[in-house]
Amino acid sequence: MATYPIRTVAVVGTGVIGSSWTLLFLAKGLNVIVADPAPGAHEKLAAWLKHEWVTMERIGLAENASLDNYRFVENIDDFVGQVDLIQENGPERVDFKRNLFAHLDAISPKDVLLISSSSGIPSSQFTMDCKENPGRVLIGHPFNPPHLLPLVEVVPHPGTEESCTLRAMQFYRSLGKKPVHIKQETPGFVANRLQMALYYEAYSLVSRGVISAEELDITITSGPGLRWPLTGPFMTNALGGGGSFRHLLEHIGMSAKPWVEDMRKHAFDLTPESLNTLDESVQSWINNVDIGQVERERDQVLLDLMESKSKASSLN
Amino acid sequence: MATYPIRTVAVVGTGVIGSSWTLLFLAKGLNVIVADPAPGAHEKLAAWLKHEWVTMERIGLAENASLDNYRFVENIDDFVGQVDLIQENGPERVDFKRNLFAHLDAISPKDVLLISSSSGIPSSQFTMDCKENPGRVLIGHPFNPPHLLPLVEVVPHPGTEESCTLRAMQFYRSLGKKPVHIKQETPGFVANRLQMALYYEAYSLVSRGVISAEELDITITSGPGLRWPLTGPFMTNALGGGGSFRHLLEHIGMSAKPWVEDMRKHAFDLTPESLNTLDESVQSWINNVDIGQVERERDQVLLDLMESKSKASSLN
């Protein structure tokens, strides 16, 4: 497959994720073909892009970036000859993606990368009807919202060509993203599994009455969560061991084994009943919070944080 | 128990945690009596406090704060009559703490709060020899380093007087900390359990070859980790559900159940053998990183982050 630069991208589906990708691609100076069959999708997208452009100006626009470089089309079929890559953001349903990718594979030139934003469905589950070139299909799962958060999980299926995986990694990197290569099609990929591990222990502790939901959140936001934008699990462990991962695990790690055993004994089981009980504790707090203010202040501090972090070359 | 303000604090043990508490207490304008039997402990502490004072100046000193308001003493016994609270930071050994607390309880006026910084040993395991007033013993577990990170886990044992728990919460809050009340003596308390939940899934994924250690760290530091200083598990879920925790769990939560099942199937088991394999992957990356630079840049961005966050009144 040729590795000429990617200049024109198609975005299929303009929900929260598709709109955000469109904004990012435009800010990075790409041309974007956008399609979404939902009534009013075009107007909604146009208004949102206009409203959010100021955020991208703050972060920094590519030289040739313009809010005018996109075209909303009725039917993507007429435009696949013009694009280098298709980023799909349809519903999270295997049957839907299976039909859509079979169709995109049939009509697109063979070197167009076909990438799904799916947050948890491995692409091997929806490539069986791709008769032309299933080797250019893979997952590029962003972290919401893609125009702000750098993470993209690149997940090939066993038949994905290595050159396509590399090209996708290179493409996302060229946009200033932090792509990671997931080497096996694990359910939930990596980021969502890590989130779920944390969340399920949180659900367990609050369900058992060990701590209130609000105070549990504080243990993260005022404790270990303050480090996690800066150093991940392994670097945090290694720093705790004076540069040696093994040192930390042999000391603190071993003495923490009984904690882990106790956590497994009390593992949370998500059922309609357990959700009812948990939701009561959580919502009795959340209902008294000004959610709009939390969102505004979160976004403000997040931008400050990413700006501060961008000056620290050793932090990922 | 009287609830007059706490003006004089004793710090027993001046390792990493005890030194950091001393720095914080001084910066907040308290008088501190410090004891540590290790040879050279006094000189080491003095040099460290002097070096770190500039950080506390940046964060903001109390009006009457002074680096001179501490006294390093040979024997704490002669000074317990002058203090309102003792913050213990000795070795993490049950037998050690059992002897020390029996002694402190025997010699201190009955209204002096006796608080251990233990990161995982519940105080009911070392109060059985406290004959005077075991009701004033509890855990105040800071998150390292206490002079920077706001979290303090306040963990009473079943016999701790409620007024003592409240007084400890109030004291830490008066220092600008974010104390949380752990209502049951869970092994590992709360913050360390949440950390372990995340770390063990990270260990599992890297051990299984799903992703490299460096890229796993990126999935946190460039993905969900960017949100966790701002919103914890419950608020993050609620925001994802448009203000409704239940909404998110009924939709995304339920479809994530197979991910959680798969995680439990592949749960990491920490043994000398599994640690060997894991350490090889981790250290092959860490050995090529300038650890000193990572630490400096982490601390810099952390201070920026806390400054930015302090302006956001809705974030915990």
Write out pLDDT tens, residues A101-119: 999 999 999 999 999 999 9
Q: Which of A251, A227, A235 is nearest to B288 (CA)?
A: A235
Q: Given B202, B221, B227, which is nearest A316 (Cβ)?
A: B221
For residue B150, cis peptide bond before it (omega within 30 degrees of 0): no
Q: Which two tokens stand for residue B61?
A: 């000193």
Residue A81 pLDDT greater than 50, yes or no: yes
Residue A25 pLDDT greater than 50, yes or no: yes
- A282 and B316 in contact by Cβ < 8 A? no
CA distance A147 to A55: 9
Which residues between 293 and 312 in chain A have a beta carbon less than 8 angstroms from any beta carbon of chain B?
293-295, 297-298, 300-302, 304-306, 308-309, 312
Q: Do B77 and B108 form a contact (C-beta atoms < 8 A)?
A: no
Tell me the pairing of strands A8-12 and A31-35: parallel
Is the CB of residue A313 less than 8 Å away from at least one CB of chain B? Answer: yes
Q: Which of B158, B157, B181, B161 is nearest to B169 (CA)?
A: B181
Residue A2 pLDDT greater than 60, yes or no: no
Average pLDDT of chain A, as a whole number: 95
Q: Do A283 and B242 form a contact (C-beta atoms < 8 A)?
A: no
Assign domain B191-230+269-310 one CATH number from 1.20.1090.10, 3.40.50.740, 1.10.1040.10, 2.40.30.10: 1.10.1040.10
Q: For the domain bounded by A191-310, which CATH number is listed?
A: 1.10.1040.10
Confidence of residue B255 (pLDDT cuts 50, 70, 90): confident
CA distance B162 to B166: 6
What residue spans define the domains of chain A? 8-181, 191-310
Alpha helices (H) along chain A: 16-27, 41-59, 94-107, 162-174, 191-207, 213-221, 233-240, 245-248, 254-255, 257-265, 272-286, 291-310
Q: For the domain bounded by B8-181, which CATH number is listed?
A: 3.40.50.720
Q: What angle do CA A252, A253, A257 make, to 5 degrees?
A: 115
Over residues B216-238, the mean pLDDT reads 97
Task: State the burial class of residue A253 (Cβ atoms within 10 Å of its Cβ: 0-12, 13-18, 19+).
Answer: buried
Is the CB of residue B286 less than 8 Å away from at least one CB of chain A? Answer: yes
Is the torsion defined by CA of B186, B189, B190, B196 positive or negative?
negative
The pLDDT tens digits for A163-177 are 999 999 999 999 999
Which secondary structure element, helix H or strand E, spans residue B196, and what is its range? helix B191-207
Alpha helices (H) along A118-179: 162-174
**ipTM of the complex model:** 0.96
Q: Which of A3, A116, A132, A205 is nearest to B234 (CA)?
A: A205
Q: Given B267, B278, B302, which is nearest A230 (Cβ)?
A: B302
| Catalytic status, residue B153 | yes
pLDDT of residue B4: 64
